[in-house]
Amino acid sequence: MQNPYIPMPVEIIKVVSEVDTNEIKTFRLAFVNKEDENNFQYLPGQFAELSIYGKGESPIGIASSPTEKGYLEFTVQRAGTAVPGLVTTALHDMTEGARLGIRGPLGNPWPIEFLEGKNIVVVGGGFAFTTLRSLVNYMLHEDNRKRFGNISVVYGARNPGLLCYKGELGSWCQRNDLNVCVTVDKGDAAWEGKEGFVPTICKDAAPSSENAVAVICGPPIMIKYTLPVFIGLGFSKENILTSLEMRMKCGIGKCGRCNVGSKYVCKDGPVFSMAELDRLPRDF
Amino acid sequence: MTAFKEIEKKLIQQAKELLERGEVAQVIAYGRGYDDQHPMPYVAKTVADADNLVFNEFCTFNLVGYLMRCPPGIKVAIVVKGADSRAVVQLIQEAKLRREDLVLLGIPASGMVDQKTGKIIDAQTTGGQINPVLCDYLLGEEKYGRTESPYQVLKPLEVMGKDDRWQFWQNELSRCLRCFACRKACPMCYCDPCFMDQSRPRWADKSPTAEGSIMYHLTRFYHLAGRCIDCGNCSRSCPVDIPLYLFHKKLAQDCEEMFGQAAGMRIEDKPVMVDFRVEDTDEMLK
Amino acid sequence: MDFEPKILGIACNWCTYTGADLAGTTRLKYPQNLRMVRVMCSSRINPSFVFRAFQLGADGVLIGGCHPGDCHYGTGNMYARRRLAITKKILEFAGLEPGRFRVEWISASEGNRFAEVVTEFTAAVKGLGPQTKLKVSHDG
Amino acid sequence: MLKKIEQGKLSELVTALIDQGPLYAPVRDDRGVNFQSIRSPLAVTLDFYNSVLSPKAVFFPQSEDLISYRLGRGEPTAKTTPLPTAQTILLGVRPPDAYSFFLMDELFLGSGIVDPYWQSRRDLTVVIGYPFINQTPDAVDFYSSLGISATDTRGSDIFLIKKNGELLFKGLTEKGNALLAKQAALFTEATGDDEQYYLAALAQGAAIVTRNLDCDPKRTASKLENLFADTAFWEQMAAACISCGTCTFVCPTCHCFDIADENIFRDGARRRFWDACMFTDFTLEASGHNPRSRVYQRLRQKVCHKYSYYIRNFGVISCVGCGRCTRSCPVNIDIFTIIAEAMKK
Amino acid sequence: MSRIGVFVCHCGMNIAKTVRVNETVEFARDLPEVVVAEEYRFVCSTPGQELIFNDIKKYNLDRVIVAACSPLMHEKTFRKVSEAAGLNQYLVTIVNIREQCSWVTEDEDEATSKAKALINGAVYRARLLAPLSSRVIDVHPDVVVIGGGIAGIQAALEIAAVNRNVYLIERTPSIGGHMAQFDKTFPTLDCSACILTPKMDAVLQNPMIELLTYSEVAEVKGYVGNFDIKVKHKATCVNHKKCNGCQACVEKCPARGISEFDEGLNKRKAIYIPFAQAVPQKPVIDRESCTYFLKGKCRLCEKVCEQGAIDYDQEDTFREIKAGAIIVATGYDLMDTKPLVQYGYGKYPGVYHALEMERLFNSAGPTGGKVVMRDGSEPQSVAILHCIGSRDKNHHEYCSRVCCMYSLKFAHLLKEKTKGDVYQLYIDMRAGGKGYEEFYNRLLEEDVKFIRGKAACVTDRTKNPEEAGKLIVEVDDTLTGKFTRIPVDMVVLSPAMTARKDAKEMARLLNLSTDKNGFFLERHPKLAPLSTMTDGVFIAGTCQSPKDIPDTVAQATGAAAEALVVVMKEKMELEATTAFVNAAACCACQNCVKVCPYGAPFFNAEKNVAEINEALCKGCGLCAAACPTSAIITRHFTNDQIMAEMEGLMEF
């Protein structure tokens, strides 16, 4: 029986600084042991506990797509301001070749079967875009693309410097099998793209709720204002999905920290539909 | 005990008046618990509530900590026994409470009984302060006449050899569960977050290691030096009965000797650890 | 072999640390058991540092600052004195040998005094033997 | 099987059991009775009502190392702490506590991912239950309310009852019988009279009634779900709560834990240790956001977890009515009263 | 994981002879996160510095540890190197293996193992270091001088000399201070006015100096380089812009007031200019003695003033001044001798104090320079009593330093102007100072009677006929050991120089400390006698301690220089190693606010957290240790860093 508390060794094979503040980096990790890699079967929306001995563990959403073979990617923000978070800070100091541990995959993925055959509206804000990126890349993969209807992506950040996955966004824009809308709250001299808050942009874009599912991740404030937009557009709460964040330790529903009512975000989440959240007590 | 019934009657009446006149928004006192031996802290917000107030020999819990939950500018009445009133004074010194927000219902409470042990609470386990040092209404007869020094109880430990004393504290502190009842029950432990909850630096292991517990308690003793008003709340709250009051008493005694000031006696005082006198000498380091 | 104590020193930058430098420049000899941390002022010293030092296995802890009144920051060591006094009492009442903790005011000009104090203190701590009470036992 | 031994020989038995593996049994010190790992047979007492702390620590230690590691140049070297392998005996457990192990199994074993630490200790441990016989229940106990009887056998492998001057040991499970068989030498066969006595005692014990309250799991669960948003109610219930962790630490069914890496010099360990949902920083996120920042929210979490969420997840209430939380609460908060109040709503 | 480089210095043989450098380097190379460890004969030499520079680049180091001499020696050097190599200077750690190892033992093993421990500590600490940058603020070019006595005048002139704006704030109607009251100055006996007046005029003429007389400092905000001073200009009732100083008003004024300048020995008009050479030559109305203000009619001055400058309704006005530095030269008060009843001042008209004497001697004084007593008679005998209230545990323990000399001066002048006997009653004769001892010797020639002993009392109770009508001074002559009674006509008291009565208030305004005598406290008694605990505020003259004119002038010049050091540069760098508050962890206990000697932490009531004005912070860490929740983080000396260093030091 595999001990769920013991991390598997992984090695950093690539580090990309996503934003000009260097506060957000994407780490590409490769398993040290093949069998671990085989055991690690995940889908977009799941997360894992990244472990650094001497510092601790930190739950991070998986930013890569299972369709990308041979590695995992995690986009990590250096947590804490005055008092930096131990794990994320240590991680940010790590470079190619360094090793750390990983436990997972944990939690439930975006409900792929449920999404199949539907039009997907992906809405993300800031660095909460990670598992959405995974989802988009998953859906765009040649084996999967046809399983889904129209795919549109709305992604926003406070300013151009804070947009993650810039290169990838570019390549998405080139494609004709999805429509991408990247926006920033406030542009700079070089910025030629859209300006405006995500909710507003969504309102203007007004995607049809016809056979459509909205998948939304972002800072609370963004969620708060985006939801009504989609409700207004006629999306049913079952068809609006999001991913919750809560303080976690074990990641397997034992330590009793991340529950919302009877549901553990780590085990029964992090993915929830608005309808499910409505049934849960307001405890998050 | 009729004396307590008397006090209880006065308390209820006083509370009613204050609430009726709208002088205070709430009265922090004691109410009935699951039985008479176990009264609970209770907040009366209406005249009707006031009827639920209780005062008897088991109303030992120092309520002053609850004042921290009251927003400034709203007048609150609270029951204070001797030590409790000192807590109020100390917290006023530390600008944590404002005198004008408080109506103090003083109770000169002697013959209080420890709920767990059934023993009378005296200068052994507390400062033995019976009469409130500060109050607006006195709900009972002040008691005078000499009481034994609260530091008497330290003698055995002081004469004890250092190794035995170390063993003594080992035995006591090693039982610590880190439930933090001591700090949560202490009216002076208002820090949020407590140094123990800091991640940078991690002053002590979060897990209940022996060394971590020692670090926690020694540092807490330090933080309370010259501030502890010896109400005994910490020790009575401890589920494993660690006699923390002994250490607090010792430091209280040292502070009095070295800095010539006892905690929570006068509003004008400045807490001794954030103060100094030009007359301070190196004697204290001997 | 006979016991060589580990002594942790915390010294203020302006007086004691400079005094230590003077001891060096004047080639005074004193035992090497002392390892010093430099802080800007003795008032920077948090009593928990002292507790921690003992937990880390220090057999003795020596604090050095400017003479009260000569503090580079005016009143720093006046507060420090009170804090360290209480620290001493705490350690003592907890059952640690009082001789293991010492506070000395040593000015920048008192190199010889620094050497004396260290020599004396080291000898004293040596006499007390290894500090086992607060020291954290750990494998490795 | 039913075996017996003279009370005087208890120490012999204990000695024998110690040889077999770690033995945890009630020990009395000036601060009351608690379960401790026994070294001297004389330490064990059977004259007690119940322990201050629940015996859960035998399966779920307050702190245990998961991994120990050494940091240094390059990669840290880590080694996983092996799971326990020694057979363990837990003697003198009161029925409500014994039943608590069942409840905890639901979480640690029942829900998808199995907790190896809990499992191994459960598998390795023989529980010798010690039913309440001729014992007036403590004022704050309320195990009857939760359908637990004073002589409830659930969770025990062996039952131990006193018969004037003698101790009767009743094997209830294979594990239990195996142990009795192993120590057969020390025991004498029980007589028919003993059988009678045992049954009578059980019957007698079963009649004990504690504070009682009808809290059918389903009804309680939905009751609390409806009450969740009633802030006024919870604020009133939590008015006195100082949000220390005492109740959760003495509780036999509280299982929340924290995991942290702790180092000294280059050595360190990843530890898991008891945590409490009553602590301010329990749910504090790095961002500074805290979903349960208020005292009433934390008390509500504790109560609802036991009397609502647990039921929704596992169909059972995760409380055994042992009364410990009430007994050791510094401000005498009584969960029984809270539930009673809730049911009235 | 950081990338640390360790550089161990031989310092020629200084280190290498006792510390086995190579072994140490091997040890360092093996420590966590150390990517390179090297040794060099003189790391501080140019090639040594290059070695560091190159390694930073080559191994792309993010931490540098130099094990060499004391940080107080070369920390700056190595910080420069790393900055040059593009590594923030605060990521450099110096390990002192010379002063603390090689020089203080002969035992190689001891020295080497200690060196290792120290390096290990540095490695533990270095891993937690953070890059720091010092904030730069603008400096306001102007300077404010408070007090228009000789010190203030001197300082103002010095600063104006380099074309800086100076505001000279004086409380009375004229600058000049005590010195203007003096007649002659010891030991040279040149006339005080003759040397002071030119300076006063220079002030008036100097376009860089703005003179604010009859004004007081009401409030001071801000910090070094950026002070905001609120000045209160008391109503003069004379529009000084219109007034041409013809003084017709003064002549015509019927009302009289006591002359402060003449120490009350004389009267002055209600509208007045304090003294002939006063600067500015503009009168003010003393409302206490003005008939119009007392009775509601008169207004004579208004009628005679052709300029129409009189303005009875004038009110106190306030003015905001910005300045980069402040010089405090508020001077001293002469001790009030009335409370010392044994000397009978105020009881016997024959008893005078020093400043009254100055006026009596002065040709512009109440008596036109004739030494006559209140009854108009000339004294036949005068006793000068030293140390009245000075060197006296019951009053002021300190010595006022100038009394001996001016008492000698008095004796000389008395000899010059009267035929009477002159007695000096002194404890010790203190004549330290250029030409002072000579002056004393000169007086010894002048038939002055020196009696070594402190006067016990002055009385008019006579014991024999020849004492009739005299004041009797009783004294224990410590030379003869005899108790003597000296009958004299006139007694002169030389009282203590004391801190200004309102010095504490001024201290509060500027956040200065005062010593136990109420004088302003200098930052360091020897090395920073003109600076104070508040950056940018300097002190000069007798507000710091009693002193004579030469010392005062010297201090004033020094203070001017100090102030200029601040304001000459447009920008100034603030400490990088300051403290800040992690608001999330602040428990609002305000300990930091209570303990800080610089008033840097303040309490933000609406946020309910403490905050730190880093411009005022010196980074001592006093507040950090006082903070129970370790919410205060002292940059470069954080709790983590210190505890980590301790861990490293204790590991081996």
Per residue in E63-95, pLDDT tens?
A: 999 999 999 889 999 999 999 999 999 999 999
Which among A26, A48, A25 is positioned nearest to A37, based on CA atoms? A48
The Cα–Cα gap between E414 and E382 comes to 8
pLDDT tens track for D219-228? 999 999 999 9
- Please provide the DSSP assignment of chain B as one string: -HHHHHHHHHHHHHHHHHHHTTS-SEEEEEE--SSTTS-EEEEE-SHHHHTTB---TT--S-GGGGGGGSPTTS-EEEEE-HHHHHHHHHHHHTTSS-GGGEEEEE----S-B-TTT-PBP-TTTS----S-SS-SEE-S----S----TTGGGHHHHHS-HHHHHHHHHHHHTT-----HHHHH-TT---SS-GGG-SSS--S-SS--HHHHHHHHHHHHHHHTTT-----HHHHH-TT---HHHHHHHHHHHHHHHHS--TTS-TT---GGG---TT--GGGG-
pLDDT tens track for D206-219? 889 999 998 899 99
* Chain D residues within an 8 Å CB radius of A5: 66-67, 116, 259, 272
Residue type, B161: G
Per-residue pLDDT of chain A (284 residues; tens, 9 = 90+): 589 999 999 999 999 999 888 889 999 999 999 999 999 999 999 999 999 999 999 999 999 999 999 999 999 998 766 667 889 988 998 889 999 999 989 999 999 999 999 999 999 998 889 999 999 999 999 999 999 999 999 999 988 888 899 889 889 988 888 989 889 988 888 888 888 888 888 888 888 888 999 999 988 888 888 898 999 989 999 999 999 988 889 999 999 989 999 999 999 989 999 999 988 887 77
- Please provide the DSSP assignment of D34-59 as one string: EEEE-SSGGGB----S--SS-GGGGT
Which strand (E) or helix (H) includes residue E487? strand E482-488
Which among A143, A51, A148 is positioned nearest to A104, based on CA atoms? A51
pLDDT of D112 > 80? The answer is: no
- Among B69, B70, B195, B221, pick the best mutation site for testing chain E contact (most E Cβ within 10 A): B195
Of B95, B203, B274, which is closest to E626 when you measure between CB atoms?
B274
Which residue is it, tokens 């009450």?
Answer: D227
- Among chain D residues, CA nearest to B189: D242
Which among D182, D162, D159 is positioned nearest to D170, based on CA atoms? D159
pLDDT given at position A10: 96
The Cα–Cα gap between E473 and E349 comes to 14
Cα separation values, E348 from A152, E360, E488, Å: 105, 17, 12
pLDDT tens track for C95-118? 999 999 999 999 988 999 999 999
pLDDT of B1 > 60? The answer is: no
The answer to whether the CB of D92 falls within 8 A of the CB of D160 is yes
Q: What's the mean pLDDT when you consider all of chain B?
A: 93
* Chain A residues within an 8 Å CB radius of D78: 53
pLDDT given at position C1: 59
E114–C49: do the CB atoms touch at under 8 Å? no
Q: What is the pTM of this model?
A: 0.85
- Among chain D residues, CA nearest to E28: D73
ipTM: 0.93
pLDDT of E30 > 80? The answer is: yes
pLDDT of B222 > 60? The answer is: yes
Q: Give me the mean pLDDT over the D173-201 stretch.
A: 91
Which residue is it, tokens 């948003």?
Answer: D229
Angle at E85 between CA E80 and CA E89, to 5 degrees: 45
The Cα–Cα gap between D197 and D180 comes to 19
Phi, psi of E86 (to 5 degrees): 85, 15
pLDDT tens track for E552-595? 999 999 999 999 999 999 998 888 999 999 998 999 999 999 99
Angle at D237 between CA D236 and CA D241, to 5 degrees: 105
pLDDT of E464 > 80? The answer is: yes
Q: What's the mean pLDDT when you consider all of chain E?
A: 94
- Both tokens of A208, joined, read 């049809």
User: Can you count the helices (H) and strands (E) in chain D?
Assistant: 12, 12
Confidence of residue D135 (pLDDT cuts 50, 70, 90): confident
The Cα–Cα gap between E323 and E617 comes to 20
pLDDT given at position A83: 66
Of A82, A90, A94, which is closest to E633 when you measure between CB atoms?
A82
* Chain D residues within an 8 Å CB radius of C138: 264-265, 267
Q: Give me the mean pLDDT over the C4-9 stretch.
A: 96
Residue type, C14: W
Distance of CA E8 to the CA centre of its chain: 45
* Chain A residues within an 8 Å CB radius of E633: 82-83
- Among chain D residues, CA nearest to C140: D267
The Cα–Cα gap between B150 and B128 comes to 6
pLDDT given at position C139: 58
B198: left (phi over 0), alpha (psi -120 to 50) or beta: beta
Residues 6+ positions from A273 with CB-CB distance below 8 Å = A237, A238, A239, A240, A241, A242
The Cα–Cα gap between E70 and E118 comes to 12
Least confident of B52-61, C41-50, E309-318, E508-517: E508-517
Which among E88, E199, E74 is positioned nearest to E134, based on CA atoms? E88
Q: Which residues are registered as beta bridge partners of E158?
A: none
Alpha-carbon dihedral sign for residues E366, E370, E371, E374: negative
Cα separation values, E206 from D88, E163, E164, E175, E323, Å: 97, 10, 11, 14, 18
Largest CA distance in chain B: 60
Percent of chain E whose pLDDT exceeds 70: 100
Q: Give me the mean pLDDT over the E539-551 stretch.
A: 96
The Cα–Cα gap between B124 and E575 comes to 52
The Cα–Cα gap between E197 and E172 comes to 16
Buried residues in E28-52 as b, exposed as e (16+ CB within 10 A): beebbbbbbbbbbeebbeeebbebb
Distance of CA A202 to the CA centre of its chain: 19
Strand, coil or helix: what is E634?
A: strand
Give the single-character DSSP code of D136. P
The Cα–Cα gap between E584 and B198 comes to 11
The answer to whether the CB of D212 falls within 8 A of the CB of D336 is no
CA dihedral B226, B232, B236, B241 (to 10 degrees): 60
Quick check: E100 contacting C, CB < 8 Å? yes
Which among E309, E262, E312 is positioned nearest to E286, based on CA atoms? E312
pLDDT tens track for B140-188? 888 887 778 999 999 999 999 999 999 999 999 999 999 999 999 999 9
- Please provide the DSSP assignment of A109-120 as one string: PP-HHHHTTSEE
Quick check: B273 contacting C, CB < 8 Å? yes
CB pairs under 8 A between C and E: 120
- Among C8, C40, C77, pick the best mutation site for testing chain E contact (most E Cβ within 10 A): C40
* Chain E residues within an 8 Å CB radius of C109: none
Residues 6+ positions from D253 with CB-CB distance below 8 Å = D56, D100, D103, D104, D306, D318, D319, D320
The answer to whether the CB of B281 falls within 8 A of the CB of B258 is no
Q: CB count, 10 Å around CB of B147? A: 15
Phi, psi of D116 (to 5 degrees): -65, -30
Q: Give me the mean pLDDT over the E377-382 stretch.
A: 94
- Both tokens of D5, joined, read 């031994």
pLDDT given at position A221: 85
The Cα–Cα gap between E206 and E157 comes to 8
pLDDT tens track for B113-136? 999 899 999 999 999 899 999 999
Helix axes D116-124, D95-105, angle to 10 degrees: 140
Strand, coil or helix: what is E168?
A: strand
pLDDT given at position A35: 92
pLDDT given at position C140: 46
Confidence of residue D315 (pLDDT cuts 50, 70, 90): very high
The answer to whether the CB of A96 falls within 8 A of the CB of A176 is no
Strand, coil or helix: what is A33?
A: coil
Phi, psi of E237 (to 5 degrees): 65, 10
The answer to whether the CB of A193 falls within 8 A of the CB of A184 is yes
Distance of CA E263 to the CA centre of its chain: 27
Name the interface residues of C facing B (CB cutoff 8 Å): 47-48, 51-52, 55, 68, 75, 78-79, 81-90, 92-98, 103, 105, 133-134, 136
D285–A54: do the CB atoms touch at under 8 Å? no
The Cα–Cα gap between D305 and E153 comes to 79
Round the CA-based radius of gyration of chain E to a whole number and report it.
Answer: 33
Quick check: D259 contacting B, CB < 8 Å? no
Q: Pairing mode, if any, of strands E190-191 and E184-185?
A: antiparallel
Q: Give me the mean pLDDT over the E423-440 stretch.
A: 95
